[in-house]
Structure 1
Amino acid sequence: MELQQMRYVVAVAETNSFTRAAERCLVVQSALSHQIARLERELGARLFERTSRRVRLTAAGEAFLPAARQCLDAAERAGAEVAAAIGEVRGRLTVGVIPTVAAVDVPAALQTFHRRYPHVRIGLRVGASGHLVEQVKDNSIEVAFLGLPVSDRPEGVATCELAHDELVAVVAPGHPLADESEVDLNRLSSEVFVDFPTGSAGRAQTDQAFAAARVTREVAFEVTAADFMARLIHQGLGVALLPSKYVPNLTGVVVVPVTDAPARIEHLVWNRFTVTPAAKAFLEVLGVVSGEGD
């Protein structure tokens, strides 16, 4: 069993195509198919079901895939550790971010990191805080920027608090609240809301605040991207509560302070057990020592 064979299996599983997998791996399809067939003979099981229309994993393939990914990750980490031992930073750095990250200019930080460590492959994933924490734990990503209610704390990862922020009301320019100097949750409860999906940390901080104020609200639009929220708000379809330090990135909306506003904390998290050389270097770029956190 060879690492290259595992790479081919992962590529086919992710693309659902032998042709696209071969293109990704920069080999001819016949060579990729030959190596996967050879691996299947060694394992004594078919990893893929192949038809003229589709390619999908068999039960054996589903069982093999996570282990193959772990082996490839371990091999990459081993190579990165060797490079670090001779003074080079290599490997990969995949960063997770929430859509409303504001405490750090992530693109600028990645540019600085890339200029300093050009041999590291950089990736970026946008997602909800809870999902990003799980990806950090299983080493799918190296570090992540989160936004959580003040009552919550990332579990099972090393963490560094970056900033505290309050949410503000975001309304359309022609909205009756647009000219108000401030508003409270009781007044906002009569409005139709645009918000993040149920169960996300971004939604939880607002739900908790309304529950604490003992008022209810209607959330008619659930979306994952704050810029799309702004487009819905601009059309007068609803209002939202968003972090005050993030809303300057939005256009076509008006911001109104909230007297009893919910708050959030932005966190930077990383795996408390496995800090790759690239992750450690990125933390240093951000001014964070990898030994900090809990």
Structure 2
Amino acid sequence: MLYEQLEVLAAIVEEGSMNRAADRLRITQPALSRAIKKLEERFGTAFFERRGKQLVLTPAGRRAYQTAVEVVEAVRRLADELAALETPTRGPLTLGAGLTTLYHVLPPLLGPFTRQYPEIDINVKTGRAHEMVKALETGEVDLAFIAADQFHHPYLQAFPLEAEAVILAVPAHHPLAHAPTPLSVSALDGQPFLLFSPGTYYRDFLDRIFSESGVRPNIRLEVDSFTTLKKLVEAGLGVTFLPQSYVQDEVATGRIVAVPVRELASVRFVTYLLSPPRVQRGTARLFLQFTREFYALR
């Protein structure tokens, strides 16, 4: 009842008339008067005083009106948000994307999605894959993309979207560009490596490859961007392991050579879409369905 009484107070002030306020709220004027009387009794003070036919707010009424506006607006926002849960074609959607997936996954996916659902307001939060998992756990994002060779979590669901080979990326003039293939990881001992920074799924994956092969890599630089890694390889500063599709343009133009590696022949680096067990927001449910269908058709 308190909300309805505050709504009545706001309507009277904004309409400047008991009659117009009653019409706006579609209630009778006696019901309007009873609501204000009960509100005044609840707080033990008068909110209006009559000056002839005019109603004038008391100081307490002015303060109560400010709160009434805030409450009515908050309830309206809540109603919109709850409606968005059931009306997935409009409303907010927050996605998380690891640095490995931001450039390669989202642009070709978001283009057709936003054309089909232009009223969905998409926000993208970026960071390392581990940070995106944490953001999904805490509810900061609705869904998250990461890339890893494997993913396990006690309750988050992981939908594999794409799996691809990992190759050794070397500069076009590098001696390994013309070596008999496939190479062995052990043959790379001593090579200057350019690697993703520690604390990422991709770096964890590479560290396992080195450890299983008994190789201690000569790490020249560690960076947080696949784009930077490719530029450093092109510049001849070292070699690195990359998912094959990430260098297809550079390989096609001869700036980088993709060298097969024996130990990676059966390894697949996977793009995952992560989701909580029960997707609450309707726009997120729609996006999850759209994404899985999009990749199924590729």
Give the TM-score, by structure 2 length.
0.64
When the two chains are superposed, the root-mean-square deviation of aligned CA atoms in Å is 2.7
Structure 1 equivalent of residue 291 of structure 2: 286
TM-aligned CA distance change 1:75 to 1:265, over 3 Å: farther
Report deviation, 1:274. Answer: 4.0
**What is the alpha-carbon distance in structure 2 between the residues aligned to residue 75 and residue 260 of structure 1?**
58
Aligned partner letter, 2:256: V
Please name the residue that 2:241 is paired with: 241
Match of 2:261 in 1: 258
Superposed displacement of residue 256, structure 1: 0.4
Contact 1:227 1:250 in 2 (8 A): no
Cα deviation for residue 102 of structure 1 reads 9.5
Q: How many pairs are equivalent?
A: 214
Instruction: Decide which moves more: 246-255 or 205-214.
Output: 246-255
> 1:116-131, aligned counterparts within 5 Å?
116-131=116-131
Residue type matched to 1:109 in 2?
L
Q: Is 2:166–2:244's contact at 8 Å kept on the other side of the alignment?
A: yes
Displacement of 1:169 in angstroms is 0.2
SS of 1:246 mapped into structure 2: helix
Structure 1 contact 133–154 (Cα < 8 Å) conserved: no
Equivalent in 275, 278, 293 of residue 280 of structure 2: 275
Partner in structure 2 of residue 132 of structure 1: 132
The answer for the alignment partner of 1:144 in structure 2 is 144
Contact 2:88–2:283 under 8 Å retained in 1: no
1:96 positional shift: 2.2
Contact 1:92/1:121 (8 A) holds in 2 = yes
Contact 1:169–1:257 (8 Å) recurs in 2: yes
Q: CA, structure 1 residues 104+192, in 2 after alignment: closer, same or farther (shift >3 Å)?
A: closer
**Which segments of structure 1 move beyond 4 Å, counting only runs of 4 or more?**
74-78, 102-105
Report the CA distance shift for 1:203/1:91 in structure 2 as closer, same or farther (over 3 A): same
Match of 1:159 in 2: 158
**Structure 1 Cα separation of the partners of residues 288 and 260 of structure 2:** 34
Counterpart residue number, 2:201: 201
In the aligned structure 1, how far is the partner of 2:117 from the partner of 2:77?
Answer: 16
* SS of corresponding position for 1:135: helix
Contact 2:88/2:285 (8 A) holds in 1: no
Question: CA-to-partner distance for each residue in 1:190-239, whole Å, 9 max, x for gaps?
Answer: 21111111121110111001101112112221111111111111111111
SS class of match (1:79): helix
2:84–2:283 CA contact under 8 A, matched in 1? no
Following superposition of structure 1 onto structure 2, how do residues 38-117 of structure 1 map, counting pairs within 5 Å?
Answer: 79-85=80-86, 87=87, 89-101=89-101, 105-117=105-117
- Structure 2 residue runs of 5 or longer lacking an equivalent are 1-74, 294-298
3-state SS of 1:153 partner? coil
CA distance in 2 between counterparts of 1:246 and 1:75 reads 46
Letter in 2 for 1:157: L
Unmatched tracts of structure 1, length 5 or more: 1-73, 289-294
Question: 90-99 vs 227-236, which deviates more?
Answer: 90-99
Write the letter of the residue equivalent to 2:163.
H
The residue identity in structure 2 corresponding to 1:141 is: V
| Distance of 1:234 and 1:219 partners within structure 2 | 17
Per-residue deviation, 1:80: 3.3
Q: Percent identity?
A: 24
Distance 1:204 1:159 in 2: 18
Q: Shift of residue 90 of structure 1? A: 2.6
SS at match of 1:177: helix
**Cα deviation digits, residues 99-155 of structure 1 (max 9, x gap):** 3339974213212221222222112233222111111111211212211233x4244
Q: TM-score, normalised by structure 1?
A: 0.65
